Structure 1
Amino acid sequence: MKARSSQFSLWPSPWRANDGGRTLSGEHLPRGYYGLVWRISGGDQVWLCALSGLIAILNTAPIEIQRRVVDRSLKEGNFHSLGFFVLAYACVVVLQGSLKLLFNIYRSWVAEHATRSLRSFINRRQEGVTGAPAATAASEGTDISMIISESEPVGAFMGESISEVALQAGIMISVIGYLIVLQPVMAIVIAAVFLPQFIFVPLMQRAITRRAEERIATLRSASAALVGEEDGETRRKAQDDRFAHVFDLNMGVFKFKFTMNFLTNLCHQLGIAGILGIGGWFVVSGRTQVGTIVAFISGLATIKDPWDDLTTWYQSMTVTRARYKLLFDALATG
């Protein structure tokens, strides 16, 4: 079942003629999720990554401006310098905000286009356009589930499947690099904040993914039962058991998710304590200035948001790949 590759183009998709969501018309789905990403939005991913790089580079500018305001303008009482830095800060945040606006609208378009393409593909398959055998009651229920509920999260993630990690990792690398140049010893605190998270985040996410996969399979069975021919009482009991199982799975996901949030926030707050302790010692001993502590606290806050977004992206990526595998298997055997 080899998928035929569509022609790659660097021309942004929103500027092309509307194809009615038929990117996947007449073709089998790629086996891997990122094959699907490249099939539907390869050129768009290149543009999204370019925008990510520009936004990431601009992220260090506000931190440096804040440091200079504290160490130079306020310390020296220079109103001319203060006015210049305030104006520069305003220009940077307006430019950065405008790029983020364009970035978010663009990748939302990519996500919605992918969802539309998947739904159209599954719908044509159900109608027999792709050469599938006649649908049974069970396969009909599965198709309904795939069109209504399963296609959307698979398509929705496509807009951020590559660009999100490029954006957030780019921000972290640029800010951490800036902090290392500013004060290498204090930068060790930043490393201590994130190293433990490289251990517990993947472990907990694997547990979440297993439950998400089981939840999809259970809900798919429930959808198939809605159009099945089982006895009414038997079906009601089976459905209640399925819904109870989904409840237990969802609660397990919530427990892991909120525990992960608690641990990441705890690491962040301990990092602030470390910066205040080490930075205060350096200021008292004359080894650094107050503006450096301000820059590090601001930098840690700047890093925390992209790190949280990367953690969320990793969660979404693992769950989406699991969803797509189930969808691909259902279409391959349908």
Structure 2
Amino acid sequence: MPHRLSGFILMMGQGHQALLVLLSVLLFAVGILPLEVQRRIVNGATQGATLTTILVLVVTYLALALSEGCIKLVLNIYRGWIGEVAIRWLRMKVIDVKEHHPDDLTTLAEGVEMSIVLAEAEPVGAFVGTSLSEPILQAGILLAVGSYMIYLQPLLALAVIAVFVPQSVLVPILQGLINQRVKTKITVMRHLSEEMVDHTSPKSPQHQAARVQRLFSTNMSIYKLKYALNFLMNLMFQLGFAGIFALGGYYVITGKIEIGTVVAFIAGLNKVSDPWGALVDWYRDLRVTQVKYELIRDASTPDSRQPSVALQTLGQPT
């Protein structure tokens, strides 16, 4: 197996990744256009545009929405296919090691093999499908919508930009804490599997119960960190809306901007909230998948199938 996760992603098909990137670029390019159409519809309705003009804009909006949906459908199915190919490859890799290196397999290794084939391979392989296209798509949407907002009203755009500054600091810190717990969780699960398939040594129900309890505690710790971060992100977005309402309302009252611009900013912040959340999720998945891939890589290498002392310590009940 490639030493790094990035090498494994490229090994699964550089051509496929390039096509996913192209689809992602096309998707965010099409996705920015409805914002301008919405602004023109609102301004046209409030400034005496003809019904024909409004209907043409509405039909244009629907056509853009349909195009965006079709591109996203193709992109998601293509991602899923590439992810499943990677999952199949990882599972077959582990099975092939068993067939070609039978003397290296102890009951300990068999437990690890079971954990990888049944559980660990799936999230790692699934990440391959979104590894490159997802950040390009979501960052492209953020950049396009952000540039559009700055073009419409630079000062009002500051209310949107301020939403992301605290999050960009908090996300890496909290994700580092989550990664530590994910590594512990995987190692504890492997030790559970190892003892379940080990028929040569006496069972230790107390140790297994302690490991189950440690899994519970570790998962609860992950949930607390994950949902605390989600809470802070949602709070930041609500503060952004408040800033748009306050500053936008002032600009409309003083005649500096049109009401359609405020509507465009509200729609724009709504539009960037999903890609920003998706980008944060992608970053989380990247960091966690790097940990999982390294554990699978080490377990799938015949010379290193015995866990290190550090990992054994992680798996021991406390």
* Alignment TM-score > 0.5, same fold: yes
CA distance in 1, matches of 2:5, 2:296: 10
CA shift, 1:329, in A, is 1.4
1:40-51 mapped onto 2 (5 Å cutoff): 40-51=12-23
| Structure 1 equivalent of residue 254 of structure 2 | 285
Residue 76 of structure 1 aligns to a residue whose secondary structure is coil
Contact 1:115 1:152 in 2 (8 A): yes
Is residue 2:58 matched to residue 1:86?
yes
Cα displacement string for residues 6-63 of structure 1 (whole angstroms, at most 9, x for unaligned residues) = xxxxxxxxxxxxxxxxxxxxxxx00000100000121111100100001111121111
Match of 1:251 among 196, 204, 220: 220
Match of 1:231 among 194, 202, 218: 202
CA shift, 1:73, in A, is 3.5
**Matching residue's letter, 1:104:** N
1:1-334 mapped onto 2 (5 Å cutoff): 29-128=1-100, 131=101, 133-228=103-198, 229-232=200-203, 235-332=204-301, 333-334=304-305
CA shift, 1:162, in A, is 1.0
CA shift, 1:85, in A, is 0.3
Contact 2:192 2:211 in 1 (8 A): yes
CA distance in 2, matches of 1:81, 1:242: 67
Contact 2:93 2:300 in 1 (8 A): no
CA distance in 1, matches of 2:49, 2:37: 16
TM-score, normalising length from structure 1?
A: 0.89
Contact 1:59 1:175 in 2 (8 A): no
Residue 12 of structure 2 aligns to a residue whose secondary structure is helix
CA distance in 1, matches of 2:233, 2:275: 12
CA distance in 1, matches of 2:288, 2:49: 54
CA shift, 1:78, in A, is 1.4
TM-score, normalising length from structure 2?
A: 0.93
Give the structure with the higher percent helix: 2
Q: How many residue pairs end up in the alignment?
A: 302
Cα displacement string for residues 55-83 of structure 1 (whole angstroms, at most 9, x for unaligned residues) = 11112111111100111244214101101
**Matching residue's letter, 1:288:** I
Percent identical pairs in the alignment equals 37
Contact 1:73 1:81 in 2 (8 A): no
Cα displacement string for residues 207-227 of structure 1 (whole angstroms, at most 9, x for unaligned residues) = 111100110011011111111
**Matching residue's letter, 1:241:** A
**Matching residue's letter, 1:211:** R
Structure 2 residues not aligned, in runs of 5+: 306-318
Residue 200 of structure 1 aligns to a residue whose secondary structure is helix
**Structure with higher RCO (Cα < 8 A, 6+ apart):** 2
| Structure 2 equivalent of residue 13 of structure 1 | none
Contact 1:40 1:114 in 2 (8 A): yes
**Matching residue's letter, 2:275:** P
Residue 300 of structure 2 aligns to a residue whose secondary structure is helix
Cα displacement string for residues 176-197 of structure 1 (whole angstroms, at most 9, x for unaligned residues) = 0111111111111111110000
**Matching residue's letter, 1:253:** I
CA distance in 2, matches of 1:132, 1:166: 43
Structure 1 residues not aligned, in runs of 5+: 1-28
